[in-house]
């Protein structure tokens, strides 16, 4: 098979699913996975129709997949359903009302537990408040909240009455709120007086005020009190702003779920993309419902006794699909935590796992690398024996970070699901089946049922390393970019004659047919004619026991075309010096070859990251080339780039 990109990985460790886990798993062997996978590809419509039967439908579909207007695919056309009904009412009907749906813990330590019945009542009340304020089917509602139960409740309330939610992550600025509100012509903004992050109060309502000052479309701002004994200053604009607690007592807890058409818009979620204005990614009702339900069930191997915890914020797609919709549809108990992983100390996450006896833990590589940096002592005294499954999402996980997660958190007995997917895909696309797939550190492994990936050249030739393509539509796929169908086509269907979905990632397929994500196609470097994904290079540095994190970029080079600059962060308590620098160069020489020696290794205390934890290599390129910095509004900590600039100029 020809190569398009070059692979420099030398990772060849492999871990069979633990026998004890596989014995009880929903998909307990490679043969079982293969059988169901082959069926799902040979007859996708039959497969998805069968999966949909577990759920409640007011009216059955006429067709499972309608491709007549591709790439504007339709799933379950003709059906009527309500995803909130499937998250709540269905469980009450099945006698599960008393099961805890949500164990919530605030950063200061306050705790609330809500059963499925409690959540059903809260959601119904919230929905009635929305209706009372004139919100109905199709109206856009922006949600700008901290990680409090009302975040989940407000989303479900919107879904219950057919309003379209557009969550804006609580760390975004006033300008980001304004852009998103204007783009979707939002009628209402739901926010809170404030929330907690690293011991500080974030005054969200004040940011909303600034953001919506020029937004005439906003009729009301509905404000929730964060609660507890905290007094948060919260100016209210008469006639526009309303306290939720003043309205909720006037409504009752009965609100029937609205039958929604299969392709009715369920939510918008804006993603920044690399350039330009954020894209309002559209997800619709029925396909998203079935896809998040089924991926949650199989990828997390959900069982009635599970206590699931996903550490993402509901402001990201991970929170939408795998805190709210996928997990609740499966009727499983989960933990939700408001605050930072290092408050009041760096052991907070392990304490939470111990306290709630978490069985299933889903987090991001950036968090795992932070845990490694903070040292193993934080875990040592904690009882993590309740854990049975670990997951990761958001970035390629460096093999050494994977090994640390496997050994220190999973005690070598928990399978790890490295799930590759995107805001646009709605749910898991490449992932191990925890009871069936032998895992490899750093590898997202195999496709989920009904997903047909390939690795192609620009010309559509199948290669070992190149551009990832998805060759068949799937129910959770985005249906468009809000009010911009042209951009939807140009961004995702621009290659291969518009036949296949283009996710924008580089990938490699190994001899076992496993997929390795090499990073964004935009980040690929080309050194002396070798096109290499940044993920593999970075993983070599992270193999050094003193290195916590690394980012590699390419800069123009007269002879090589591109030369490499490596940014490296060391673990707490270690110094960086020339000896370490030499050791890192030696590792590159040995693992990849002298051609991949970086022009410079820059040590840094931190790396510039988006608020969802992704390294922003684009800014590192700006720093390295002495350019004015591009858009920095999505940076989690703007101070980091200033330090790096100083460090770089040394």
For helices 44-52 and 30-42, angle between their N-to-C axes, nearest 10 degrees: 110
491 contacts ligand PRX (rule: CB under 6 A): no
421 contacts ligand PRX (rule: CB under 6 A): yes
Which of the ranges 417-425, 542-550, 595-603, 630-638 carries the binding residues for ligand PRX, by CB under 6 A? 417-425
Judged by CB under 6 A, the number of residues near ligand PRX is 20
Which one of residues 115, 359, 423, 437 is an interface residue with ligand PRX (CB under 6 A)?
423
Residues within window 315-334 making contact with ligand PRX, judged by CB under 6 A? 317-318
H-assigned helices in 301-347: 317-319, 326-329
Q: Beta-strand (E) ranges in 129-180?
A: 140-144, 164-167
Single out the residue of 170, 406, 373, 155 nearest to residue 268, CA to CA: 155
Which one of residues 328, 393, 551, 566 is an interface residue with ligand PRX (CB under 6 A)?
393
Smallest gap from Cβ 534 to ligand PRX, in A, equals 11
Q: Give dist(CA 25, CA 387) in Å, integer.
A: 15
Closer of 105 and 395 to ligand PRX (Cβ): 395
- Element spanning 357, H or E: none
Closer of 124 and 366 to ligand PRX (Cβ): 366
Contacts of 225 (CB under 8 A, 6+ apart): 192, 193, 243, 244, 245
Smallest gap from Cβ 643 to ligand PRX, in A, equals 25
**Which residue is nearest to ligand PRX, using beta carbons?**
423
Smallest gap from Cβ 110 to ligand PRX, in A, equals 28
Which of the ranges 65-73, 130-138, 415-423, 449-457 carries the binding residues for ligand PRX, by CB under 6 A? 415-423
124 contacts ligand PRX (rule: CB under 6 A): no
Smallest gap from Cβ 296 to ligand PRX, in A, equals 14
Residues within window 495-514 making contact with ligand PRX, judged by CB under 6 A? 503-505
* Binding track over 426-465 against ligand PRX, x by CB under 6 A: ------------------x---------------------
Calculate the dihedral angle through the C-alpha atoms of 152, 158, 160, 164, rounding to the nearest 10 degrees: -120
DSSP assignment of 300-314 equals TT--TT-EEEE-S-T
Which one of residues 90, 369, 520, 560 is an interface residue with ligand PRX (CB under 6 A)?
520
Residues within window 361-390 making contact with ligand PRX, judged by CB under 6 A? none
Q: Give dist(CA 363, CA 372) in Å, integer.
A: 14
Closer of 183 and 395 to ligand PRX (Cβ): 395
420 contacts ligand PRX (rule: CB under 6 A): yes
Which one of residues 77, 209, 418, 538 is an interface residue with ligand PRX (CB under 6 A)?
418
State the pairing for strand pair 480-481/279-284. Answer: antiparallel
Calculate the dihedral angle through the C-alpha atoms of 185, 191, 196, 202, rounding to the nearest 10 degrees: 70
- Rounded to a whole number of angstroms, the distance between the first and last alpha carbons of the chain is 45
| Cβ pair 176, 210 in contact under 8 A | no
Q: Give dist(CA 249, CA 190) in Å, integer.
A: 18
Site residues (CB under 6 A) for ligand PRX? Answer: 271, 317-318, 393-396, 418-423, 444, 503-505, 517, 520, 612
């Amino acid at each position: 098979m020809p190569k398009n990109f070059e692979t420099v990985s030398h990772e060849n460790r492999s871990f069979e699913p633990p026998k004890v886990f596989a014995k009880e798993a929903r998909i307990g062997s490679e043969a079982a996975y293969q059988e169901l996978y082959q069926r799902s590809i040979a007859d996708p419509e039959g497969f998805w129709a069968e999966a949909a039967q577990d759920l409640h439908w007011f009216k059955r579909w006429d067709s499972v997949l309608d491709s007549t207007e591709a790439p504007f695919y339709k799933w379950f056309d003709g059906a009527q359903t309500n995803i909130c009904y499937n998250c709540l009412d269905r469980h009450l009907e099945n006698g599960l009302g008393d099961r805890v749906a949500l164990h919530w813990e605030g950063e200061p330590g306050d705790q609330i537990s809500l059963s499925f019945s409690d959540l059903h009542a809260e959601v119904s009340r919230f929905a009635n408040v929305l209706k009372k304020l004139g919100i109905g089917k199709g109206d856009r509602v922006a949600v700008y909240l901290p990680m409090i139960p009302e975040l989940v409740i407000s989303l479900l309330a919107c879904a219950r009455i057919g309003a379209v939610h557009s969550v804006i992550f609580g760390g975004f600025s006033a300008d980001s709120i304004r852009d998103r509100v204007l783009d979707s012509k939002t009628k209402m903004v739901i926010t809170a007086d404030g929330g907690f992050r690293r011991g500080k109060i974030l005054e969200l309502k004040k940011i909303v005020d600034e953001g919506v000052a020029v937004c005439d479309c906003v009729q009301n701002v509905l404000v929730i009190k964060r609660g507890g004994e905290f007094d948060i200053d919260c100016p209210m604009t008469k006639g526009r702003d309303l306290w939720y607690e003043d309205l909720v007592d006037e409504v009752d807890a009965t609100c029937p779920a609205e039958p929604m058409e299969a392709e009715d818009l369920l939510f918008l979620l804006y993603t920044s993309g690399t350039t330009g204005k954020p894209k309002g990614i559209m997800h619709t009702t029925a396909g998203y419902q079935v896809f998040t339900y089924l991926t949650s069930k199989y990828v997390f191997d959900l069982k009635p006794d599970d206590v699931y915890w996903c550490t993402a914020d509901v402001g990201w797609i991970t929170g939408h699909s795998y805190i709210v919709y996928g997990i609740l549809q499966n009727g499983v108990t989960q933990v939700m935590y408001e605050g930072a992983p290092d408050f009041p100390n760096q052991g907070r996450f392990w304490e939470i796992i111990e306290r709630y006896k978490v069985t299933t833990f889903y987090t991001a590589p950036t968090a795992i690398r932070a845990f490694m940096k903070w040292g193993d002592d934080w875990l040592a005294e904690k009882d993590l024996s309740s854990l049975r499954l670990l997951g990761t999402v958001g970035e390629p996980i460096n093999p050494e970070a994977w090994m640390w997660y496997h050994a220190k958190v999973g005690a070598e007995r928990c399978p790890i699901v490295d799930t590759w997917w995107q805001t646009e895909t709605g749910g898991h696309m490449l992932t191990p089946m925890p009871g069936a797939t032998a895992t490899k550190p750093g590898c997202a492994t195999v496709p989920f049922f009904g997903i047909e990936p390939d690795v192609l050249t620009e010309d559509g030739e199948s290669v070992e390393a190149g551009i990832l393509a998805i060759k068949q539509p799937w129910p959770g796929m985005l249906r468009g970019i809000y009010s911009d169908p042209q951009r939807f086509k140009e961004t995702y269907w621009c290659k291969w004659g518009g036949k296949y979905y283009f996710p924008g990632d580089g990938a490699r397929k190994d001899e076992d047919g496993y997929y390795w994500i090499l990073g964004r196609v935009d980040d690929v470097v080309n050194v002396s004619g070798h096109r290499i994904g940044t993920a593999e290079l970075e993983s070599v540095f992270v193999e050094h026991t003193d290195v916590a994190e690394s980012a590699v970029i390419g800069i123009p080079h007269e002879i090589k075309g591109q030369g490499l600059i490596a940014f490296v962060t060391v673990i707490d308590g270690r110094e960086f010096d020339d000896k370490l620098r030499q050791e890192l160069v030696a590792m590159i020489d040995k693992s990849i070859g002298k051609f991949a020696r970086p022009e410079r290794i820059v040590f840094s205390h931190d790396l510039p990251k988006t608020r969802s934890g992704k390294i922003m290599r684009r800014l590192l390129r700006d720093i390295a080339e002495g350019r004015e910095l591009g858009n920095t509004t999505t940076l989690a900590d703007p101070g980091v780039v200033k330090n790096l600039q100083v460090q770089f100029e040394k």
